[in-house]
Structure 1
């Protein structure tokens, strides 16, 4: 019986160490991806705003009435969602299974 406790402690220690490493690696990857995508989106938004500053006032008024700024925000949100789904696809594999089912049924 006394021999069982050190063996059990070693076994649990190896499991916990591997699990802790995976959790910390995942958190580090998620943080880097979040910061990187945030910087990318901020850069794109600043670039688009800079392009709109070069537009004449009359054209800007017409684009404002047509809610062109809302359309740009929708496009940027769609790109963010696509990047998020692509990241989930590579990390978890769950979206890949669903995507394969959708392709097979069509």
Structure 2
């Protein structure tokens, strides 16, 4: 009797494992594509900002350098990257972090 159930059990477990493996690979593929896409987007924004700053006259560039505008722009780009990272982590794990909870509460 148990020998007769073995092919049914093998088919059942095979279908579960195949579905789970497909979901894991699909999730990893989407995560990789998102990572590559966001990285390319941030690199594009940084190169665009650097290109715009290269067109600034030298006297204005000196004033912007003393005002540390370049550091402020880098901080803003890093903040956007961190926000995207936290949002992606919330989606992957299914948990809500304290920062995401504060954002949803309007705080």
Q: When the two structures are superposed, what TM-score results if normalisation uses the length of structure 1?
A: 0.80
RMSD: 2.5
Aligned partners of 1:43, 1:4: CA distance in 2, in Å? 58
Moved over 4 A (4+): none
3-state DSSP of counterpart to 2:105 = helix
Partner of 2:52: 51
Task: Name structure 2 gaps, 5 residues minimum.
Answer: none
Task: Name structure 1 gaps, 5 residues minimum.
Answer: none
- Please give the residue correspondences for 1:93-104 in structure 2 after superposition, counting only pairs within 5 Å: 93-95=94-96, 99=101, 103=105
Ranked by relative contact order (alpha carbons within 8 Å, sequence separation 6 or more), the top structure is 2
Aligned partners of 2:105, 2:35: CA distance in 1, in Å? 30
Equivalenced residue count is 104
1:91 offset after TM fit, Å? 4.3
